[in-house]
Structure 1
C-alpha cells in the first residue's frame, strides 16, 4: 500500500450512529455572494468551512468585501468592489460561475483562474452572457479560464439567452448578481434541460429572502434591479454530504441518523429519502433528524438523477453492492464536473472487479463480487465518498488522494471513523 493511500475501513458490524453534518456548500456560497452585494452588513451562521467556501470568501475579500470569521459565523461587510484582483476558483463550480458577474461590478481588472481541470469546465455560456449584458471579458477566445473581467463599476443588464444544459450554476451565477445590474436580468435557457433544478430553486428562494423581485417561468428567470438586503443567513446541514453516511446504514444493515434535517428545503440531497427507500431502506423523519435503517439486504434502482446528479457517485457505489442491477440516467452533464464522473466511476468500480457500463446519459451497474485495489479519485471529493461506501463491504479498498474530500467535507475520514465506532 502506498503511504499516500487511505484504506477505507470495513464495517465489522451494523453501524449505529448519529452523524452531525457541517453546513451546505451551496447555501454558504450563495449567502456569501448575496451578503457581499447587499446594502448593509450581514451574517452567515454555521457556514461550511471547506476549500470551496474558503476560496469564495478569499475571492470576495480580494474585491474589497470585509469577511470576519468568528466561532460559528462569518460577518460580512459590503464595500465598493474594486480591482486589480486575482481570483483563484480552485475546482469550485460555484466560485467559477458565481464570481465573474460580481467581478463585472467591480472597478478595475479581475483575473480569474483555478486548478488545471477548472480550465476544462463549461464557462463559455456565462462569459458570452456577461458580454451580452455589457461586461468586458478577455479570455483569448478560449471560452474558458484563465480570463480577465475588466470591470467598470456597473453592468447594464437586460435580456440574454444561454444554453445552461451543462450546469444550473450558469443561470444561478447571473441571477445572484442581477439585482445590482442597472436593468436587472432576464435569463432565457435554450437547449437540453437544465440539470439540478433544486439548485435553481435555492437561488430563487435566497434572492427573494434577500428582498429581490424574481419571476420564473418555463426556462426563463427575471430579476428586477433593486437593493439586496443585509441579513442573517442560517445555513442548513449539507444534505448531499449525507449520502455516504445514510448509505452505510443500507450496506451494513444498521442505523444512521442525520440531525437537523430540514422539513422543507431546496437542497437536492433531500431526494435521498425516496432514493434510499426505493433501494430497500427504512426511512423516517422525526425530531431527532432523518433516520435510515438497513434491513440486511437491498436492491438496485432504476432512477433518473438529472435533478440530483451530485448523488450519483455514492448511489453508483451502493448499486455495485446491491442485490439486483441498476440504471442511473439523466446525468450526461456529469462528464463536465470535477472530473468526467461517468468515466471515472466505470474505471474505478470495474477496477475492483465490478460490472459498470457507460450509457449515453448514465450508467448501467450489474453487481458482482468485488475485491480490493487502488481507487483513484481524480481530485473529485465525491469519488472519495463512493470509495468509502465500497470499502464498508470490500476489504483492501485503497483511496488515492483522500485529502481532496476537503473540497466540501473537511474531516471526512474522522467523521467516517466515528460513525463506524458508534461515536458519530
Structure 2
C-alpha cells in the first residue's frame, strides 16, 4: 500500500534529539550469523523493518527459530543444519536478503526458491549465483525469481566473481563460508568494489564469532571451514538513517542530536559527518552523542564510493546549497533499489533543480536556501519514491525549504525505518509538541 505525504516545511530553527533505530546492515548480518551458529544467542537493538522481517522470515523457512523476549531483545536458535525451504522465500526489494540467503541456503541440500517485488528482478544478484555454481550449486536464473538446488555436500572452494556492482556479493559468500565443507577462497576480478566498509563490517562480525577471514591480497578473501559461535550482542544505531535527521539541521538551522553514536564503527554512514563539515555545518560529539548545527550551506565535490547510500540525502543538500556540487564514485547505485542517479536527476529536476548525470555520479547547481525563507527558484511538486526509502529521505530534506513538496509513497521508508514519518514530523513541525524528539525504543524484529 502506498501512502502519499506532504513534506513538512521548517518554519523555525530546529532543536531536536532523535533516537535512530538499529542498523539494517548490522541487523541482517547478525540475524543470519545467529541462524548459522549452532546454539542460542540473544540480540538487542535489532531493527524492526520490512528488510529485517523478510530476513527473519526467510531464515525461519530454512529452519532457524526466533523468540521475541519481553525486554525487546530477540533470541535466535540456529539448527544443526539448515534445511531447504518448502515454499519460495520472499526477498521483497532487500539486497541483503536476496544476496545473503541464497549463499546460506547453499548449505541446505535440496531445492529452495526465491521471489521478490516486481522491481527485484532488476537488482543484480548474478555474481553471488555464479559463485554458488562454482561451489557445486545448480541455479536456474541470474536474477529473481530463481530456484537453486544444493547438493548434499558442496564440492568447490575457489570462487572468482566480479563484485564491482555491490560489496554485498562478497559479504554474502563470506558470511556463510565457514559452514561450507571446504570453506572458500574468494577472488574479485573487475573494477573496484564499492562500499568496502560493508565488507569490513562483515569480516569484523565474523571475527567476533570466531571466524577468521584472511585477506592475503587485494580482492582476495579466504575462510576455512569451522563453527560460527553464537554471540549475544547489541546492534548499533543506523548511521546512514541518522544522516537525514542531521541534514535537517543543515537546511533549517539549529541543532539536531543523535544519541548512541558509536566511538568506532565499520558503518559507512559515519562518512556523513565529514560531508556535513565540508558543507559548512558544525559537528560536535560528546557523551556518546553527535550534534550537527547548521550554518551557511555550501556546495561540495565529494567521492561517495565507500558510502554511496548517502547519495540521495547529499544530493538534496547540494540542491539547497550555495554553488555547484559534484558527487563522484557512485555509478553502481544505478543498480540499487532503483536507478538512483536517474531517479535523482528526474525528481530534483522536476522541481527546478539544475542536475545532470555523469558516468559515475551527479553534478548539481545549488540555488541556496534558508529552511524558513525557502529556496530561490524551486517550485512545489509531486516527487516519486520508486519504492526507495533513500529517495523518500531526499524528498523530506528538500521539503524543509521548498513549500509544497509531496512524496507519492512515504510507506517505502518502512524498508529500514517504519517510524520515519512520525520522527520527522516531531522534529520539524512546531505544532507537533516539544521540538525535542522523545526517546523511541529501537524495537525488535
3-state DSSP class of the match of 1:44? strand
* Length-normalised TM-score, structure 2: 0.92
Aligned residue in 2 for 1:107: 109
Please say if residues 38 and 77 of structure 2, whose CA atoms lie closer than 8 Å, have aligned partners that are also in contact: no
Show the counterpart of 2:311: 312
Asked if structure 2 preserves the Cα contact closer than 8 Å seen for 1:106 and 1:154, the reply is no
Residue 129 of structure 1 is aligned with which of 128, 131, 134? 131
Q: Does 1:271 align with 2:271?
A: yes
Q: CA deviation at 1:340?
A: 0.2
Q: What is the match of residue 375 of structure 1? A: 383
Residue 397 of structure 2 aligns with which residue?
389
TM-score (norm 1): 0.97
* Residues 136-169 of structure 1 deviation map (CA, whole Å, 9 limit, x = unaligned): 2222xxx111111212344234111110001000
- Native 8 Å contact 2:136 2:151 kept in 1: no
Structure 1 partner of 2:228? 228
In structure 2, the CA distance between the partners of 1:36 and 1:310, relative to structure 1 (3 Å rule), is: same
Contact 2:3 2:411 in 1 (8 A): no
The change in CA–CA distance for 1:129 and 1:288 in structure 2 (over 3 A counts) is closer
Match of residue 155 from structure 2: 156
**Alignment partner of 1:67: what SS?**
strand
Q: Is the 8 A contact 1:156 1:181 kept in 2?
A: no
Question: In 2, distance between residues paired with 1:155 and 1:74?
Answer: 31
Q: Does the CA-based 8 Å contact 1:157-1:178 persist in structure 2?
A: no
With a CA cutoff of 8 Å and minimum separation of 6, indicate the structure with the bigger relative contact order: 2
Question: Would you say 1:409 and 2:417 are equivalent positions?
Answer: yes
Q: Distance in 1 between matches of 2:207 and 2:261?
A: 22
Residue of structure 2 in register with 1:81 after alignment: 82
- Say whether the 8 Å CA contact 1:261–1:289 is kept in structure 2: yes
Q: Which stretch has the larger CA shift, 311-320 or 34-43?
A: 34-43
Query: Which residue of 2 is the match for residue 335 of structure 1?
Result: 334
Q: 2:53 is paired with a residue of what secondary structure?
A: helix
**Structure 2: how far apart are the matches of 1:41 and 1:415?**
34
Aligned mates of 1:230, 1:157 — CA distance in 2? 26
> Which residue matches 2:177?
178
- Once residues 11 and 29 of structure 1 are traced to their aligned partners in structure 2, the CA distance between those partners, rounded to angstroms, is 34
Secondary structure of 2:148's partner? strand
The match for 2:406 among 398, 402, 405 is 398
Aligned to 1:241: 241
1:4-53 Cα offsets, whole Å, 9 max, x none, are: 42000000001100100000000000001110110211122110000000
Is this contact kept in 2: 1:104–1:154, CA < 8 A?
no
Mean Cα deviation higher: 38-47 or 59-68: 38-47
Question: Is the Cα–Cα contact under 8 Å of residues 243 and 272 in structure 1 kept in the other structure?
Answer: yes
Query: How well do the aligned residues superpose, as a CA RMSD in angstroms?
Result: 1.2
Moved more, 94-103 or 106-115: 106-115
- Aligned partners of 2:76 and 2:424: how far apart in 1? 32
Comparing 383-392 with 76-85, which one deviates more in the overlay?
Answer: 76-85
Quick one: distance in 2 between partners of 1:164 and 1:282? 36
Aligned partner of 1:96 in structure 2 is 98
What CA distance in whole angstroms lies between the structure 2 residues aligned with 1:177 and 1:153?
Answer: 16
- Please give the per-residue CA displacement for 1:312-341, whole angstroms capped at 9, x wherever unaligned: 000000000001110001000010000000
> Structure 1 runs of 4+ off > 6 angstroms?
none
Tell me, yes or no, if the aligned pair for 2:183 and 2:223 is still in contact at 8 Å: yes
CA distance in 1, matches of 2:89, 2:153: 19
Q: Any conservation in 1 of the 2:46–2:73 contact (CA below 8 Å)?
A: yes
**Distance between the aligned counterparts of 2:225 and 2:288, measured in 1?**
42
